[in-house]
Amino acid sequence: MCPKEGYYVAYSGGKDSTVLLDLVRRSGVKYDAHYNLTTVDPPELVDFIRTQKDVEIDYPTTSMWREIIDNGSPPTRLMRFCCRTLKERGGTGRLVMTGIRWAESPRRAKRMMTETCYQDGTKTYFHPIIDWSDRDVWGYIRQQNLPYCSLYDEGFKRLGCILCPMGGKKQKLMQAKRWPQYKRAYLNTFTKMLTERKRRGKETKWETAEDVYHWWLELREHEEDQLTIFE
């Protein structure tokens, strides 16, 4: 299946793509591995990725902070503009390898081993370890003595953008406590976002950055679901 230009390996720095990258290396196929920096990446994760000498870190032309201000809202489960502009860049016209697995979530359990990107028809995805269990992944890491990101040893189950809306409330609270500087950055951005919304004449139920933050993390006891953004 290997194309003449080789595989485009989408590397995240997590346990699954760490296993995938090791398998690709051992297979002897031609490949180039890429990590898309999002500007809200855990510092420890980026430090680990920098140790992978064959992984190219691709920098974005925008940032999460700019995207929030321009969109007038933080990203939500149904409005994940950040994935489109920051996370899922690259691989156009390529056969893209990922570490996606069925066991990760009910949504990913519906994925196919090979599939065409619904946003870019020139991009084909190939998920070689899609049927691996968590036990398979950690068993392989230990068997091959592979280095992995230290955040797993701190109790993190999944790695990714700090305060990703796809994470659960417990995970987001854990991240906010672990990286308070990112919480402050989000609050500062929400203040600028509200100012920009006011300048555009857009009404909103939020009055302060703290209002946005509590709504976004669903911290209030009777808070509306994130599916509803505006009154």
**Backbone phi, then psi, for 130, in 5-degree steps?**
-60, -30
Percent of the chain with pLDDT over 90: 81
- The stretch 125-144 carries a mean pLDDT of 97
Query: What average pLDDT is seen over the chain?
Result: 92
- The stretch 99-106 carries a mean pLDDT of 94
- The stretch 12-29 carries a mean pLDDT of 98
Q: 7-165 belongs to which CATH class? A: alpha beta
> Measuring CA to CA, which residue among 215, 177, 174, 180 is closest to residue 194?
215
- The stretch 159-181 carries a mean pLDDT of 92
pTM of this structure: 0.90
pLDDT value at residue 231: 36
Given pLDDT bands bounded at 50, 70 and 90, which one contains residue 158? confident
225 pLDDT higher than 70? no
Asked which of 9-13, 69-73, 86-90, 217-221 is least confident by mean pLDDT, the reply is 217-221
CB 76, CB 45: distance < 8 Å: no
Measured distance CA(88)–CA(82) in Å, rounded:
9
CB 133, CB 48: distance < 8 Å: no
Residues 6+ apart with CB under 8 A from 132: 16, 19, 101, 103
- The alpha carbon of 114 is separated from its chain's Cα centroid by a whole number of angstroms, namely 20
Domain boundaries defined on the chain:
7-165, 170-216
List the structure tokens of 147. Answer: 């280095």
156 pLDDT higher than 50? yes
Given pLDDT bands bounded at 50, 70 and 90, which one contains residue 221? very low
pLDDT value at residue 220: 54
- The stretch 218-230 carries a mean pLDDT of 51
